[in-house]
Structure 1
Amino acid sequence: MKKIKLFPIRFFIFILFLAISGQNLPAAEIEELAEIKVTSLRDTFTVENFPGSITIFTEEEIKKKQHQTVKDLLQGELGLDVVQSGGQGGQTSIFMRAQGSASTLVIIDGVEVNPALAGGFDFGDLTLDNIERIEVLRGPQSIQWGADAVGGVINIVTKKGAGSPTQSLTFEAGSFGTFNQSIRSSGSFDNFDYSLSASLRTTDGISALNKESGGTEADGSINKTISARLGYNFSLDTNWQFITRYIKSLDEFDNVNGQFSSFNNDNNNSNNVDEFYLSAPFQTNFGGWWDLKLTPTLYYQDAFTIATTANDKVINRAYTLDLQNNVELNRYFSILWGGEYEHKEGVNVGGTSFGDGFHELTDNEAFFLQGIFEYQNNLILTAGFREDINSTFDEITTYKFDAGYRLAATNTKLHMSYSKGFRAPSFNELFAPPAPGGGGLRTSNPLLQPEVIKSFEVGMKQDFMDKRIQLALTFFNSVTSNFIQSAPTTFVQENLGKLRSKGLETSVNIELPYHLSLSMRHTWNDHVIDAKSKSNNNQPATRRPKHKFIANLSHNWDNKLDTLVGLFVRSSATDFDATNKTDGFATVRAALTYQYNKNIKLTLRGENLLDEDYIDLGGFGTAGINGYGGFIYMFD
């Protein structure tokens, strides 16, 4: 294969170019950058100097907002559309910049957790237990993370233990018979650090189907999560970590989307899921200029569905070995290079939904290279490419170019990027057999081609009044060829044509008097499918509203009382097809945290305080006004 042979040549030429180019630059003092590394960027950038679109949720922000799940935290954030079918535990998808849910790559502690069968990650049972940071990187990231990252990356990092060991007990109770309990311990001593947590969350829930669809009885949920992160420092430059997360969930649901009234069944069906993530990264440094990181990972999911019309058991497995090298050639030039081997399996062991079932697997080898030029903390230029060699599809080369410039006089930061990415179809999209009793209807399509996206974005960040006001604007424009979506009339997965998506992401942070702060985020996203067939042409992608707005007003009093009021507004969206739409809506929430004494913190939160009767996804239920209260007990 010619492309494999060309890789060493490209690699050598690129290294030689960087090494030669860096010799004649004048010396200059470089300002110290923020120390927070962005792990989803493979540690090549800090938060301050990244020339792209990124949102980071810190542990402090997560605690202040009091959300219990990742999907609630991400609701309404820049570039994201969160869609849930029913209440807690219901199937939850996230679309980024109008790309499909399978185009958002989800990484948990280095483990790529998008399942091989469905492609898109289900956020329904992912809680915020023991999470230190969440990074949302918008736009194609294929050169570093390969397929599934054409929309962007959501990177979730488990808390690392530090300092004297501390423990905490958390309890919360509230509406719909909901109880949340967790225990946590973390700390470090000598060369060893640890962080452990276990939680149990139960709720009687709401009906997965709304009243208009015949939903009357509640659909409950049980979630058990265990998280652990262990680390050992062999020296100042060498460490090894063992990070794992296990989730066991049982979520009740109703048969189908209520739009199909002839199939309306308000039954007690359930999804029973076991998920296990494991990574064991080893990292070392050679001579202060070369960082090496080797990360083996394991992902395993066993899901069993019990339903009145169909019982299914599916298994997803993935094994990955990732090599990453960050090499500083001189004070201005550095390179990121490495490779990845990934093996994915998807098994449907049979049942009534997929007949005899099926078993598919794929192997992917990849090599990536990125060059980074940084001058005086004012100018950043990057260029990189990635070669993916897949056992199912032809080899694909992707690339990305970034540029960032800071106007020192006004501290104005400008950034621009152009990139190419791709997404391979999931096993279900390619191979799922006809469902028994469905007249031989096959919704999969073995002739599907990978999606290919080309994306451009330009943006700016500006501070005012000594950083008391922070403004950020980003315009993006992308074209996805071979866009995959089910056809409205046949339900068969097709390469419909091109998805054209453009938009503007705006964020404003304001520090107000009297310890008040206000954050606002707005996303305008215009998208349309340039379809091959006239009936599907010029239709928007489904379940992606054009406008989203979120605002949070928070206050801190004497470092004891934290209060927050939040507003989320969403415009209407096309639902299952162009003839079905969900109306826009607005919801209000509030959260309060009070430090009662050294050991006890009291919590109180309310959701949908205006008791808005709204529809997020056609036919499915949403919760009315609901509230919760609890405490956190901390001890040494």
Structure 2
Amino acid sequence: MRDPSLGSTSRIAFFCAAALLPLSRPATAQTAPPIQLDEVVVTPNLTPTETRAVGSAVTVIDSTELDERQVRVVSDVLRTVPGVTVGRSGPTGGLTQLRLRGAEANQTLVLIDGIEVNDPASGSEFDFAHLLAQGVERIEVLRGPQSALYGSDAIGGVVNIVTKRGTGAPTVAGFAEGGSQGFASGAMSAGGAVGKFDYYASAGGLRTDGVSSAAAWNGNDEADGYRNLTAFGKLGFQPLDILRLDAVGRVTDYRAESDDFLGGVGPVDGDGGSEGLQLFGRVDGRLALFDGRWRQRVGIARSHFDNDYLAGDVVTSTSIGDRTKIDYQSDLGLTSAFLVPARHDLTLLVEHQRDAADTASSYSAFDRSVEQTSLAGQYRLGLWDDLFLTGSVRHDWNDRFADDTTFRLTAAYTFDATGTKLRASYGTGVKNPTLFELYGYTDTYRGNPDLTPESAQGWDVGVDQWVWRERLLLQATYFNQRISDLIQGTGQTSINVAGTSTIQGVELGLMATPLADLTLRGSYTYTPGEDATGRRLVRQPAHQASLDVDYRFWHDRASINLGVTYTGEQQDLFYNADYTTRRVTLDDFVLIDVAATYDIGPNAQVYGRVENLLDTRYEEVAGYGSKGIGIVAGLKLAF
């Protein structure tokens, strides 16, 4: 087995790339403005909270960062977040799983504009392959067990994606680009506010001829293409200062070519594929009373997944997943000055959710649903504007499993004089068995209706330190997480594995603006996780790192962005001829991306990028290949 630390070749490539930083301007150039300190996040407490008051580990990616990196698929930027591992089965369009702190892909809850988008018919996980970055305003990644507020699916944490909302004068914008491997992408958007209404709409897509999904270096050379069409719209109406109504709808239509799979061989050239339709929607109303101290929200959200699996143009199986959720949230904020200045925030949350899955193929079919009603409460206490404490508790009434109670505690303390924030959190989590694990079956698999929910306990401690006149932020977190009753497939069915999986590690983050036009972001994660038998977690590298550098020049009309990601050695499962499994080791690798822009006018920009500059050959899933070097050029317009 190779040393899990950076290999010599990868180490040289990583640090050579870091040395390619654009030359800084002389010391007489404009000095950098301080990084904003009072950023607000929503995901940790379900309500806008200043980051200084948050005791959990959370990372924010905004639209500026997405534009600098020219991100087209959301999963590509999530790779750079501490604690996040992304695994894609082949090139663009292949199954893309996200793991937080070593938890399984279906143990992370994903939200888009407040809509839960984990698919009940596909293992209760979200496939990031089809999520384009067009119109995304903000991504918040909350790490650690979060079931106290978010219920099942949130053992690893929560990924919350928020799209843009119309403000100000009406605007229209768009971009079009093309490149190697038959790649083409583009989108149009329009948004603004008129009287009491605001609106935003976007429509776009992506296509590529691709490369072989099965690794080309194993003798596979048939290219597998992909196309994606995505549109969404948001409409807001504020008839009164205290009342606001919102609606959002999103649709994604995709088709992905893939390959076949043979036990004992792995992925091989074939005519497999999939096509699908995703429909997401939510409407809600918000009411603010007593000068905004009491805020209420009621909403209903629905997600629908319709997936067809193909052999050529013939549908071999289908799966339809539906999730409907009705929720009510009440937030009350109070202040007091008895003994010490204090801020009190109380939140009450009531939810009812129904998940349904309907699958059919030539060898199996099932149509099942499960419902759950939940009640959650949270109390936040702020003292002297320095110490912030949070306690949350939730109880779930499930019509299939025993009732369950989860909780979370967090603390944060800030030292403004030194720019230091200390934080800690502890939480419990639960993950209900998926409908397929309970009732599904194939020609080689039968569901197990006796499965019980997985449970988790996790804690972390960390420090955020501002230095150098608030131009440099250093972050460090130690986490420890334990998952019991883990559900694993045995080849013919699924069982709860006896024992506890132990996942611990360190997350490091860096953000700096040493000059007004130079921004650096870096991360490193060490996760030596083990399952209940003491073996390394599969598809979870012990070492991951990233570096992103963005530099603006030529009177702010031009920019260059350098992105470097390192993924360490990891293990995966290889299926033998009889579909038993054995472990294989996937090599570590470095990816380097370079992007550049030039503003040719106040409303027009030309740009280009080179993806996988070194043409690195790598595997994130055993037997599946990578797309190699890609070159793209495009034009962006706004009016």
* TM-score of the pair, normalised by structure 1: 0.90
Residue 327 of structure 1 is matched in structure 2 by 332
CA drift of 1:406 comes to 0.9
Task: State the distance in 1 between where 2:474 and 2:93 align.
Answer: 35
Task: State the distance in 2 between where 1:231 and 1:524 align.
Answer: 43
2:562 aligned to which of 544, 562, 565: 565
Question: Cα–Cα, structure 1 residues 265 and 615, in superposed 2: closer, same or farther, change >3 Å?
Answer: closer
Deviations 1:337-364 (A, max 9, x none): 111000110000x223xx2310110001
Local SS of the residue matching 1:630: strand
CA drift of 1:519 comes to 1.3
Q: Kindly tell me the number of residue pairs found equivalent between the two proteins.
A: 586
Task: State the distance in 1 between where 2:537 and 2:446 align.
Answer: 19
Deviations 1:164-183 (A, max 9, x none): 01101210100110110211
* 1:555 partnered with 2:555: no
Residue 415 of structure 1 is matched in structure 2 by 423
CA drift of 1:388 comes to 0.6
CA drift of 1:477 comes to 0.3
Local SS of the residue matching 1:323: strand
- The answer to whether the 8 Å contact 1:259/1:619 transfers is no
Local SS of the residue matching 1:234: strand
* 1:351 partnered with 2:361: yes
CA drift of 1:443 comes to 5.1
- The answer to whether the 8 Å contact 2:41/2:140 transfers is no
CA drift of 1:138 comes to 0.5
Task: State the distance in 2 between where 1:106 and 1:623 align.
Answer: 26
- The answer to whether the 8 Å contact 1:247/1:276 transfers is yes
Deviations 1:352-383 (A, max 9, x none): 3xx23101100010000011100122000111
Matches within 5 A, 1:240-389: 240-256=245-261, 260-261=264-265, 265-288=268-291, 289-307=293-311, 311-331=316-336, 332-348=343-359, 350-352=360-362, 355-389=363-397
Task: State the distance in 2 between where 1:108 and 1:266 align.
Answer: 35
CA drift of 1:430 comes to 1.7
Task: State the distance in 2 between where 1:307 and 1:179 align.
Answer: 25
1:109 aligned to which of 99, 110, 113: 113
Code of the residue aligned with 2:531 in structure 1: it is: I
Residue 6 of structure 2 is matched in structure 1 by none
CA drift of 1:120 comes to 1.1
- The answer to whether the 8 Å contact 1:212/1:619 transfers is no
Deviations 1:521-546 (A, max 9, x none): 0000111112xxxxxx2111210111
Residue 622 of structure 1 is matched in structure 2 by 626
- The answer to whether the 8 Å contact 2:52/2:414 transfers is no
Moved over 4 A (4+): none
Code of the residue aligned with 1:504 in structure 2: it is: V
Matches within 5 A, 1:426-465: 426-435=434-443, 441-442=444-445, 444-465=447-468
* 1:178 partnered with 2:183: yes
Residue 512 of structure 2 is matched in structure 1 by 510
- The answer to whether the 8 Å contact 1:564/1:592 transfers is yes
Residue 100 of structure 2 is matched in structure 1 by 96
* 1:478 partnered with 2:481: yes
Residue 405 of structure 1 is matched in structure 2 by 413
CA drift of 1:392 comes to 1.0
Greater shift after overlay, 305-314 or 100-109?
305-314
Question: Cα–Cα, structure 1 residues 224 and 48, in superposed 2: closer, same or farther, change >3 Å?
Answer: same
2:53 aligned to which of 8, 33, 49: 49
CA drift of 1:44 comes to 4.9
CA drift of 1:310 comes to 7.4
Task: State the distance in 1 between where 2:263 and 2:81 align.
Answer: 28
Task: State the distance in 1 between where 2:145 and 2:504 align.
Answer: 14
Residue 592 of structure 1 is matched in structure 2 by 596
Question: Cα–Cα, structure 1 residues 169 and 329, in superposed 2: closer, same or farther, change >3 Å?
Answer: closer
- The answer to whether the 8 Å contact 2:43/2:142 transfers is no
Deviations 1:210-269 (A, max 9, x none): 12444211111110001101101122221111111100000111012x7731x6541122
Task: State the distance in 2 between where 1:264 and 1:454 align.
Answer: 37
Task: State the distance in 2 between where 1:599 and 1:469 align.
Answer: 32
Task: State the distance in 2 between where 1:628 and 1:278 align.
Answer: 33
Task: State the distance in 1 between where 2:389 and 2:84 align.
Answer: 27
Structure 2 unaligned runs (5+)?
1-35, 337-342, 574-580
- The answer to whether the 8 Å contact 1:44/1:326 transfers is no
Residue 4 of structure 1 is matched in structure 2 by none
CA drift of 1:146 comes to 0.4
Residue 21 of structure 2 is matched in structure 1 by none
Local SS of the residue matching 1:330: strand
- The answer to whether the 8 Å contact 1:304/1:311 transfers is yes
- The answer to whether the 8 Å contact 2:364/2:442 transfers is no
Structure 1 unaligned runs (5+)?
1-31, 436-440, 531-536
Higher relative contact order (CA 8 A, sep 6+): 2
1:395 aligned to which of 393, 403, 406: 403
Code of the residue aligned with 2:570 in structure 1: it is: A
Note the aligned Cα RMSD (angstroms): 1.7
Local SS of the residue matching 1:338: strand
Task: State the distance in 1 between where 2:482 and 2:184 align.
Answer: 45
Residue 220 of structure 1 is matched in structure 2 by 225
Task: State the distance in 2 between where 1:276 and 1:395 align.
Answer: 30
